[in-house]
Amino acid sequence: MNEDMNNNVCGEGKVPDMQGKCVMPEVTFSTFVMSLNTSVLFHLGELPDPETGQKVVNLDLARHAIDTLVVLDQKTKGNLTGEESELMRNIIYDVKMRFVRAVKK
């Protein structure tokens, strides 16, 4: 196996391909939804800023990312696999609950 693949030296957001070249992961519906989920978690202060290590809460941006997930869910109804639909349903429920908890703090 390539040295890069063993040591994961690609850095944040990149993965090694079969030749060991650092590339962005494949964009799929699920990875896109997961990136929006990460955005919500970041804006809720649950994930630190990779540059500063600080956790910052911005409820307006968290709400915007949640709304984006909801619109995406509505616009893709009937066009998703069962697995994709379940992912959307679970993520939307989870981030809405986290948002409510954050607002109550």
| Residue ranges per structural domain of the chain | 27-104
The answer on pLDDT for 3 being more than 70 is no
Residue 57 per-residue DSSP state? B
Taking only the tens place, the pLDDT of each residue in 63-91 is 999 999 999 999 999 999 999 999 999 99
Nearby residues of 36 by Cβ (< 8 Å), 6 or more positions away: 65, 68, 69, 72, 91
Angle at the Cα of 29 from the Cα atoms of 39 and 84, rounded to 5 degrees: 100
Q: What pLDDT, on the 0 to 100 scale, is given for residue 5?
A: 40
pTM over 0.85: no
DSSP 22: E
Smallest Cα–Cα separation from 9: which of 28, 18, 19, 22? 22
